Amino acid sequence: MVVTAIVVVLLGMLVAVGVLISSGGAGAAFSGVPQSLANQAAPEQAGVIQQSSQQTSGDPLKASPQWIARTAQSSGISETAIAAYGDATLLLTHTQPSCHLGWSTLAGVGTIESANGTIGGRQLLASGLSTTPITGPALNGAGGYAAIGNGNGGWSSALGPMQFIQSTWDRWGADGNGDGYMDINNIFDAALAAGRYLCADGRDLATAQGWTAAIYSYNHSADYVQQVYAAANAAAS
């Protein structure tokens, strides 16, 4: 069983909006999303990500500094976060081309989950870490939260800029910056993990149905899908 807890940023605060519990992985069939959502066009992807011209064979795919700077300025998102989303999208375009993941979709998720690593007055460092780790509320069954144990007698919490719980990270965690570690608190790693999760089970995010299913799988909430949709379009505008 895959269990994903998502904590959404609303009015500058962490507010839990739901926990996904599904069997069969992240791509399990969904229900309950209004048809109006499924009929919306997938978010604007804001053009092709320009790849760095300084790469050599075997290097991880990296977005170009010029594209990062230009996109950060137009979106209002930090260059570090944009680099993480761009790098993850380039890699997944290479490894899972049929998914058609766009950087703005990752930006939409990151904006709602943690204000792209800056929630609560934090700053996102060039390393990809926030000045202090991002930890959601304890999932102890109180206050509308699901009750999810951590296996050590305590309660799980969603962690990092893309708000994974540890059990989900154990399956989807990734090394997005090529440093040899998979760090749930690092936006480069978390963005790639989120992209892998969204692309699961052969989804095509270029279609309205595929995109909606992917975001709904991240958090079973129609309101969440709408919020990510708006944030992704805002980032790309």
Asked whether 128 and 84 are in contact (CB, 8 A), the reply is yes
**Could you report the per-residue pLDDT of 158-199, keeping only the tens digit for each?**
899 999 988 899 999 999 999 999 999 999 999 999 999 999
Q: Which of 141-145, 211-215, 222-226 has the lowest mean pLDDT?
A: 141-145
Q: Which domain holds residue 106?
A: 2-23+60-236
Which of 34, 128, 121 lies closest to 88, judged by CA? 128
In a domain, residue 45? The reply is: no
| Domain assignment of residue 142, yes or no | yes
Give pLDDT, residue 101. Answer: 93
Tell me how far apart the alpha carbons of residues 171 and 148 are, in angstroms, rounded to a whole number.
17
* Candidate from 31-35, 85-89, 157-161, 197-201 with smallest mean pLDDT: 31-35
Q: Is 141 contained in some domain?
A: yes
- The predicted model gives 77-100 an average pLDDT of 94
Report whether 85 contacts 191 (CB < 8 A).
yes
Is 77 inside any structural domain?
Answer: yes
The Cα–Cα gap between 135 and 163 comes to 8
User: Is the model's pTM score more than 0.85?
Assistant: no
- Give the three-state DSSP class for 88: helix
Q: What does the pLDDT look like over 89-132, one tens digit per residue?
A: 999 998 999 999 999 999 999 999 999 999 999 999 999 999 99
Does some domain include residue 158?
A: yes
Whether 106 maps to a domain, the answer reads yes
Range of lowest pLDDT (5-9, 161-165, 222-226): 5-9
Q: Structural domain tally of the chain?
A: 1
Residue 198 resides in a domain = yes
CA angle 106, 107, 108 (to 5 degrees): 90
In this structure, is residue 43 part of a structural domain?
no
Q: What is the largest CA-CA distance in the chain?
A: 52
Q: Check: CB of residue 93 under 8 Å from CB of residue 103.
A: no
